[in-house]
Amino acid sequence: MNARKKSEVGSDTLTAETISPFRDVRQQYIKSPVAVAALCVLLAIIIIAVTAPLISPQDPYDLKVIDIKDGRLKPGSPKLSKLATLSLKISISGLKKVGVPKASVTPTNRSGDTSPDAVQIILEPHAGNPYQWTVKVSPTANGHLDPLQTVNLERLPKGSKLSVGKKDKFRNVWRLSPKDTQELILTLPKTSTDVGQFRVVMSGGPQKKLMTYWLGTDDQGRDMLSGIFYGLRISLSVALSSVVIALTIGTILGLCAAYYGGRTDTLIMRFVDLQLSFPTILIALILLAILGKGVFNVILALVIVQWALYARTARGVALTERRKEYVESAQCLGLSTSRVILAHILPNCLPSLIVIATLEVAGAISLEATLSFLGLGLPITKPSLGLLIANGFDYLLAGYPWISILPGVALLITVFAINLVGDRLRDILNPRLRR
Amino acid sequence: MSGNHVLSVRNLDTRFQTQAGEIRAVDGVSFDLAKGEILGLVGESGSGKSVTGFSIMGLIDEPGKIHGGQVNFKGEDLAKADSKRYDRLRGREIAMIFQDPMMTLNPLLRIDTQMIEAILAHESVSKTTARQRARDALGMVGISSPDERLRAYPHQFSGGMRQRVVIAISMLHAPDIIIADEPTTALDVTIQAQILYEMQKLRQNHSVSIIWITHDLSVIAALADRVCVMYAGTLVEQGPIDDVLDYPTHPYTKGLIQSVPNHNSTGERLEQIPGVMPTMINPDPGCRFMDRCVYAKESCINEPQLIQSTNGRQVRCHYPLDH
Amino acid sequence: MTLYIFRRFLQSIGVIFIVTALVFVGIYVIGNPVDILVSTEADQEQFDRMVKILGLDKPLWEQFLVYLSKLAQGDLGRSFAFSEPALKLVLQRMPATIELVTVAMLMALILGIPLGMYAGLHPEKAVSKTIMGASIVGVSIPNFWQGIMLIFVLAVSLAWLPSGGRGEIKTVLGITSSLWTADGWSHIITPAINLALAQCTLIIRLIRANVREIALLDYVKFARAKGLRRNRVVYVHIFKNTLVILITVVGLQFGSLIAYSVVTETIFSWPGMGKLIIDSVYILDRPVILAYLVIVVFLFVTINLIVDLLYSVIDPRIRLDGDQGSS
């Protein structure tokens, strides 16, 4: 009778084929490019967190690798291999005697890849004036100190003068720049004894770039990028653990309250209401003040702060579902209480719980960072992003802002991405907004 | 043809742009409304009857729009009117009553506030005068001790009384037309009867034309002069109420009448029209009722034309039923 | 109505009682009360003396009664660090915090309400979308880092405003505040902005969601059907209904602001209760921590009570609940 296909269901649904809820959510989720981008960023962050020890350029907590002299370097600075150093003692004798005074050079100390012959020092007395010498310092062909970086003349007799270089205000050290060393004139004070002694300390040599501090270094010389990777790892794992635990506990309590009703319900809900009426940060603060620092305590505090939210949601959904007929019919069929709860009511709670859990991860990360920033959260051995930011705060006003700003940016991006994902999930799973 | 017609709708086409596609909620609907006439607009949920009412009032919001057609009122096409014109028109020349009186009145404002603001929106009179008029309006719909009632809040009234207040508000400016969108659906049957009585009184005393939108045929049977039957956005049958009820010419109308349980047929099976309404997104061409019609034939795949017959009856069908 | 107020009042007392009992349990039962109430630097003799003085050798229920009676008299112990009564210390710092919190709340409302209403009434416009996008970022920025950034931008890079501390205070009409001086304002602006921004985003999102919902409701449509001008529809019908939610949120958020002022005061060295508690937690000055807790609970409960009362003033359905039966 009918040549064309059967009509579909009326105006407010599109197709009659069944889609599993998960696929449906996925389909809807993909429709927002912003949400998809956020999810990608989030996955990247999770991968970074999980593989932090593998992908960090440097282990920021391995003291052997950190060089405090590399502290507070700008983002993009290279980490250079250490300079070789060499120090030589120079003795000038025969100043008061007749005849030509003599100078002898003895190496006293070296480090790095040098040998005493890496540098050639020539001392020539001026004719007629034993107190004036021409000094020439040059790196030799075996190159271990070539190019020269610093040349210091230390412990010159008081009153000595050099024709080039700058004397340090506080210490008996003359600093020369490498080009000064071509030829300089040393004038010893006339009251000096027969022997004049001083030291030449040089450092130099080729420097290899070992790595680049892409995001700079903090005050201890730790690579910021690595620190941020490790920090993300810790922040994320602490937050996730707390959410999983709080979710479990809260849901169980909420379902119990809904199912057993009566006094259990009132008791549990009183606690829930009490807790939810106080700001989370205060509760966490006081808890940590009483319990003290430590990873376990922080997770405990985060759990205590969150569970009420899940409990209330689970209870709300459970109460609505409980009145529905399918629960009654399941009970009429003789299914046990726990089966009814687990198999029928729980799946209906999941959408709301998932949305809240996602957003709470962001909240937990933020809260933990705040607590660590205030010095109440994780200990220094488990540095989270909050601690990094706290470390950098003092340097903010001193001209090294990246130490504080960059971990904050990482924190911001993480929380932002999670919030976007959670928001999108909420729009999809919240029945009220479905048109 | 708009001689003594107060409203003349021609080929009204209202569409909604959604993510799923373009919904053609009202597709080529035409009817006339005479002065003092009660016209019933009947159809299932989703047939487009409420949208028709809102289109006339200009209350179609994004993503909807009146795509085409005319709404001729007092020599003017309202479909082309601007918002200023509509502001003056609504409440004063055409009024509307909604379905759920609890949601129609603002729960945070007193009754007198809501009535006085309706008066002051169109006339600059003193508050005292407005108050007096509000009082009279309440008296007109049979509400006793109106002074007390004026100071009350909506939640202190019963459902039936709330609806009467809403009717009173609609009559404040003695409009030419009242569009009533399922006004008794949310009320129980006894209250319903009272409301129907009030409406009839209004028509009698004030010659106001009423468009009564409902899915309940029995209400129409009791109240209306003429009836328009809508299905899937189209008008399928139109005519004087008794005529249409006794001699329906459209298969859908017939099905509708038969599905109303009446006391003459105890023990018989309840009739149902099989199937559900088709989607109004990019609808297939041809008669919309085809898939559910027991009389459908091959040629129903073509767009059925409007067939006029005597005494103002119209039907949109290839094979109208004979009597 | 009076019955309602009375009931709420009793509930508030109950809450205060429960919290103080919890604190008692936390300190005297779980923690080692001696460590908490006696400075850890006391030697054995002083220790034993303190135990006697504090009555810690008495049975638990007796200690609880003593605790309660002391509480009622306002004696919460002496601060270790300052050797002053802990309660007095906290109360001294309270005005600074209240000042900061009030300014922040006002800022948030003045900025947030119009933006939220606009975004709710015209959700399709580009401006609205930008506002909403910015609000998600606003919710995501960790408050302490935001403070740091504000300092960096306003105090370091641009050097427009000072980077911390409270300004000059003056007393006008019996109220002592830094708001009477220009210097005071220059010092309060940045920390107030820090507190306000997070609130602002919350208010914007809330109002927008609310306005969107309300605008779709029947009574708004009916108001338009009556022919009311758009302005009246918006301000009287939509806004008044939003007010209900707004007041609840503002009230509750006051509490949250007081909590977050802990972080802000620390970063900006603002001499309020928040900074006091952080400093006290560092040095384990527990009497001060206790006093702070008691004060804060008291403040919260009071605020909640006021919000409930306001709520019933605005929504007649609640007000008349006890008196008249509804339909």
Q: What is the structure's pLDDT at C56? A: 63
- The answer to whether residue A118 scores a pLDDT higher than 50 is yes
Could you tell me which residue, A147 or A233, shows the higher pLDDT? Answer: A233
> Which two three-digit tokens encode residue A420?
């976007």
Q: Which of A235-244, B49-58, C27-36 has the lowest mean pLDDT?
A: C27-36
pLDDT category, C104, cuts 50, 70, 90?
very high
Rounded distance, CA A236 to CA A228, Å?
12
Averaged over A266-278, what is the pLDDT? Answer: 83
- Helix, coil or strand: residue B69: strand
Which pLDDT does position A195 carry in this prediction?
A: 67
Buried b (16+ CB within 10 A) or exposed e, C22-53: ebbebbbeeeebbebbbbeeeeeeeeeeeeee
Identify which of B108, B114, B129, B154 has the alpha carbon closest to the alpha carbon of residue C226: B114
The pLDDT of residue C319 is 61
Which residues of chain C from 235 to 294 reach within 8 Å of chain A, CB to CB?
Answer: 252, 255-256, 258-260, 262-263, 266-267, 277-278, 281-282, 286, 289, 293
pLDDT at B67 over 90: no
Q: What angle do CA A350, A352, A353 make, to 5 degrees?
A: 60
> pLDDT-based confidence at B233, cuts 50/70/90?
confident
Q: Is A135 on the interface with C (CB under 8 A)?
A: no
C326 interfacial to chain B (CB closer than 8 Å)? yes
Q: Tell me the pLDDT tens digit for each residue of B174-205.
A: 889 999 998 888 788 888 888 888 888 888 88
Strand order of the β-sheet with A161-162 is A119-126, A129-139, A184-187, A161-162
pLDDT of A11 reads 39
**What integer pLDDT is reported at residue C327 of this predicted model?**
35
Tokens of A367: 């809260």
Query: How do residues A305-359 score in pLDDT, each as one tens digit?
Result: 999 989 988 888 888 877 777 767 776 776 666 666 677 777 778 888 888 999 9
C151 part of contact set with chain A, CB < 8 Å: yes
Give the span between the Cα atoms of B164 and B171, in whole angstroms. 11
Mean of the per-residue pLDDT values for chain A? 81
Percentage of chain B surpassing pLDDT 90? 6
Has residue C326 got a pLDDT over 50?
A: no
Task: Return d(Cα B96, Cα B181) in angstroms, integer.
Answer: 7
From A312's Cα to the closest Cα of chain B, the distance in A is: 28
- Residue A210, both tokens: 């070992």
pLDDT band at B210 (very low <50, low <70, confident <90, very high): very high
C neighbours by CB contacts (3+ pairs under 8 Å): A, B
Question: Mean pLDDT for chain C?
Answer: 78
Tracing tokens 């130490």 back to the chain, one arrives at A403
Q: Does B80 have pLDDT greater than 80?
A: yes
For A348-407, write each residue's pLDDT tens digit: 788 888 889 999 999 999 999 999 888 888 888 778 888 889 888 888 878 888 888 899
At C225 the pLDDT is: 84
Higher pLDDT, C64 or B113: B113
Instruction: Give the three-state DSSP class for B7.
Output: strand
Q: Please judge whether B158 and C327 are an interchain contact, meaning their C-beta atoms are less than 8 angstroms apart.
A: yes
Query: Cα torsion for A28, A29, A32, A33, to the nearest 10°?
Result: -130
The verdict on a CB contact (< 8 Å) between B291 and A6 is yes
pLDDT of residue A15: 46
> Does A4 have pLDDT greater than 60?
no
Q: Which residues in A lie closer than 8 A to residue B46 (C-beta atoms)?
A: 10-12
Q: What is the mean pLDDT of chain B?
A: 84
Label residue A9 by pLDDT band (50, 70, 90): very low
Task: Give the span between the Cα atoms of A337 and A327, in whole angstroms.
Answer: 10
CB-CB contact of C105 with C253 (8 Å): yes
Q: What is the mean pLDDT of residues C92-97?
A: 87
Global pTM value: 0.72
pLDDT above 80 (res B130): yes
Cβ contacts below 8 Å, chain A against chain B, sum to 34
* % residues pLDDT > 90 (chain A): 15
The pLDDT of residue B215: 86
pLDDT, one tens digit per residue, over A414-424 is 999 999 898 88
Q: pLDDT at residue C127 above 90?
A: no
A282 to chain C: closest CA residue: C259
Other C-beta atoms lying within 10 Å of the C-beta of residue B14: 24
pLDDT at A7 (0 to 100): 39
Predicted local confidence at residue A362, as pLDDT: 92
Res. C29 pLDDT band, cuts 50 70 90 = low
pLDDT at A2: 36
Other Cβ atoms within 10 Å of A262 Cβ, number: 8
| pLDDT, tens digit (0-9, with 9 covering 90-100), for A54-63 | 888 888 777 7
With 60 as the cut, is the pLDDT of residue B47 above it? Answer: yes
Interface of A with B (CB under 8 A): 1-4, 6-12, 14, 435
Percentage of residues of chain C with pLDDT beyond 70: 81
Q: Do B46 and A12 touch (CB under 8 A)?
A: yes
Q: For residues C318 and B123, which has the higher predicted lDDT (pLDDT)?
A: B123
Q: From CA C61, how far away is CA C170, in angstroms rounded?
A: 47
- CA pair distance A167, A156, nearest whole angstrom: 11
Residue with tokens 């002083």: C46
Contact B278 A3 (CB under 8 A): no
pLDDT digits (tens, 9 = 90+) for B255-265: 888 777 664 56
A6: which chain B residues are within 8 Å (Cβ-Cβ)?
291
Using the Cα atoms of residue C216, residue C219, residue C225 and residue C229 in order, give the sign of their dihedral.
negative
Nearest residue to A189 via CA among A228, A166, A156: A156
Q: What is the pLDDT of residues A173-209, one digit of tens each?
A: 888 887 766 678 888 887 767 667 888 888 887 777 8
Nearest residue to A304 (alpha-carbon basis) of A286, A327, A331, A326: A286
pLDDT band at A250 (very low <50, low <70, confident <90, very high): very high
Residue in C closest to A403 by C-alpha: C148
Contact check, Cβ <8 Å, B277/A14: no
More confident site: A374 or C320: A374
Q: What is the dihedral of CA B33, B35, B41, B46, to 10 degrees?
A: 70
